[in-house]
Structure formats: structure tokens, C-alpha cells
């Protein structure tokens, strides 16, 4: 797995499209939110900014890059060749997705640290970390499922848009409007519960036990996405 991950990390830094979508775009958007934090905090809260940053890196960095990577490796038959080695299916997928996952987590950590230095540290760092991990695992699961219906890296620019924009829209909705109204709907939509957890972690004022229950919807989406991926994910291009 580690040899696959090392090879994939090299490919990431050689691919300009992946660099832009996976690293540059999330960093630029997050930097804009931090620079304009007073205006966005007035619109929602500092927790809202943290939630949007988390969702931006998760959607445009981790999720989009994961789908693009898997589609590209399928198209050039790299996935097929890897399956002829001693590596297991889970080891292959883990090796391919490990570099962008680590990069995304480091990005979020750095951006959150900068946000905390500019505006003041979050109320509960561990709870914020739980929200980030929940979003990360959910986006990885959705990436595996989306890769099953994505024929090429170019096609990924289309297939990833609904989930990417949808998650960011849900996070923005929850971050600005809260979950006092339509609570169940907002929490069940992908990204909604993770956004509420991030807001609670940064702003405080909510019991930790109540906030931890918000992990359940994100984990449920992981189960659904992985179950879907096992049915539709393909290791070879369609003939």
C-alpha cells in the first residue's frame, strides 16, 4: 500500500489539474473566507467559516481529486495491473487515496490554525477534529461511489459537480440558518450534521454528548456510499 501511495503522491505533484482542484482552489477559497472573516461572521458565525472551510477542502480537494484519480487510473489500465499483484483491493484503493487524504487533512489543519490565530481559538478543538474526520470519511465514501459512474478524468468534472456543490450548499445553509427549523432534514443531508458539529465545536454552548450524536448521519452516508461503491465500482474501462 505504501509503495502505491508514494507513487500516487508523485503523480499528484506532476498533474496540474489535480494541483489546481486539490490544492490551489481550496486554499484560495479558504483564504478569502479568512480575509473577509468579519463579514462572514456577521452573516453566520466563526463556526460557519470553519464549516465552510472544511467543506471546501473536502468537496473540491479530497472528493473531486479522489474521483479524478480513480477514473484516470482505470482509464490507463493501472487499476487492472495493480489487481494482478499481491495487493488486495482495499490496499490498492487505500494506497491511491492516502496521499490526497493526508494532504487534505494537513490543509484543513493549517487553515483552521490560521483562522484561530486571526479570530481566536475554537471552543473545543477535539470536537472540531471529529467534525473534520467525519466530513473526510464521508467524502471519501462518496468519492468511491462517484468513481463507479465516472468514465474518465474529464468526465469527473461533470460527475463530481452535484455532490460538491450540494455539500457546500448544505453546509452554507446550516452554517447561516442553524438547525432550529427543519432540523432532521438538515442533519440528514450530506454535510449537514458535520457542519453543525463544526459550528458547535468552534462557537461552544452545546453539550459535547449532544454534539457527538451528530456523527451518526455522516457515518450513515459512509455506509450508504461504500455499499453503493461495492456494486457499481469498476476496475476496468467499459468495453
pTM comes to 0.90
User: How far, in Å, CA of 227 to CA of 71, rounded?
Assistant: 19
Helices 46-56 & 192-203 angle (0-180, nearest 10)? 140
* Mean pLDDT confidence for 132-153: 93
Chain mean position to CA 191: 9
40 pLDDT tier (thresholds 50, 70, 90): low
What pLDDT does 174 receive?
A: 93
> What average pLDDT does the segment 32-45 reach?
66
- Residue 20 reports pLDDT greater than 90: no
Residue 133 has pLDDT above 90, yes or no: yes
The whole-angstrom separation of Cα 193 and Cα 201 is 12
41 close to 18: Cβ distance less than 8 angstroms: no
Looking at residue 32, what is its pLDDT? 75
Burial class (CB in 10 A: 0-12, 13-18, 19+), 105: middle
> For position 178, what pLDDT does the model report?
86
Amino acid at each position: 500500500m505504501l509503495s502505491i501511495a508514494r507513487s500516487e503522491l508523485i503523480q499528484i505533484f506532476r498533474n496540474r489539474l489535480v494541483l489546481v482542484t486539490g490544492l490551489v482552489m481550496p486554499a484560495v477559497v479558504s483564504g478569502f473566507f479568512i480575509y473577509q472573516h468579519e463579514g462572514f461572521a456577521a452573516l453566520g458565525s466563526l463556526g460557519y467559516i470553519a464549516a465552510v472551510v472544511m467543506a471546501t477542502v473536502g468537496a473540491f480537494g479530497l472528493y473531486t481529486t479522489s474521483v479524478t484519480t480513480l477514473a484516470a487510473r482505470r482509464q490507463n489500465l493501472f487499476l487492472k495491473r495493480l489487481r494482478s499483484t499481491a495487493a488486495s483491493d482495499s490496499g490498492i484503493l487505500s494506497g491511491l487515496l492516502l496521499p490526497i487524504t493526508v494532504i487534505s487533512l494537513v490543509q484543513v489543519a493549517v487553515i483552521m490554525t490560521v483562522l484561530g490565530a486571526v479570530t481566536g481559538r475554537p471552543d473545543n478543538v477535539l470536537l472540531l477534529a471529529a467534525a473534520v474526520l467525519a466530513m473526510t470519511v464521508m467524502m471519501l465514501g462518496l468519492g468511491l461511489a462517484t468513481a463507479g459512474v465516472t468514465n474518465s478524468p474529464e468526465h469527473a468534472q461533470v460527475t463530481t459537480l452535484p455532490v460538491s456543490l450540494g455539500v457546500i450548499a448544505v453546509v452554507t445553509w446550516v452554517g447561516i440558518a442553524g438547525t432550529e427549523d427543519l432540523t432532521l432534514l438538515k442533519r440528514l443531508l450530506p454535510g449537514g450534521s458535520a457542519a453543525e458539529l463544526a459550528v458547535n465545536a468552534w462557537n461552544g454552548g452545546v453539550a459535547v454528548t449532544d454534539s457527538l450524536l451528530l456523527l451518526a448521519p455522516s457515518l450513515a452516508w459512509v455506509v450508504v456510499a461504500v455499499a453503493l461503491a461495492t456494486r457499481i465500482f469498476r476496475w476496468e474501462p467499459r468495453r
